[in-house]
Amino acid sequence: MGLVEWQNWENTLDSYFNGDFILSINQIADDVRRYRTVDEITKYLSNKANLDPNRYAFLASSVLMLCEELSISTPEWARKNLWLKDPFFPCDIESIRIYLVAESPIHFRKNNIFVSSDIFKRV
């Protein structure tokens, strides 16, 4: 992977942790599918400290799900139990929380995170 691709990964991950959460996680999913690797995410995380625990756990859950989907090796950091003290829902709409609890893939539920089962589906 060249410098340009690495800078794109770094920019997307910076945006994920410090800015637009939903848009960035979808870009990360697209990049993992395109390059069939999560090595750049692991490289990025190795140089960072004090990351938001909700977003870190969400990223780990996402990587776990994508690695399984693509049949690629899952990094150790994504396999760890990152159970959040409080349940995490990526949206604030109360009326859909019960749906998300029932629908959420195990990759997310294992960390007390609740999302739609089609989180990375594209139309």
Question: For 76-103, what is each residue's pLDDT tens digit?
Answer: 999 999 999 999 998 888 889 999 999 9
User: What number of other Cβ atoms are within 10 A of residue 99's Cβ?
Assistant: 12
Dihedral (C-alpha) 122, 10, 20, 96: value to the nearest 10 degrees?
50
* CA distance linking residue 81 with residue 99, whole number of Å: 23
**How many residues make up the chain in this entry?**
123
What CA–CA distances, in Å, run from 103 to 18, 28, 36, 66, 118? Answer: 28, 22, 26, 17, 9
Q: What is the pTM of this model?
A: 0.91
Q: How much is the pLDDT for 106?
A: 97
More confident residue, 3 or 106: 106
Q: Each residue of 41-67: pLDDT tens digit?
A: 999 999 898 999 999 999 999 999 999
Domain spans of the chain? 3-109
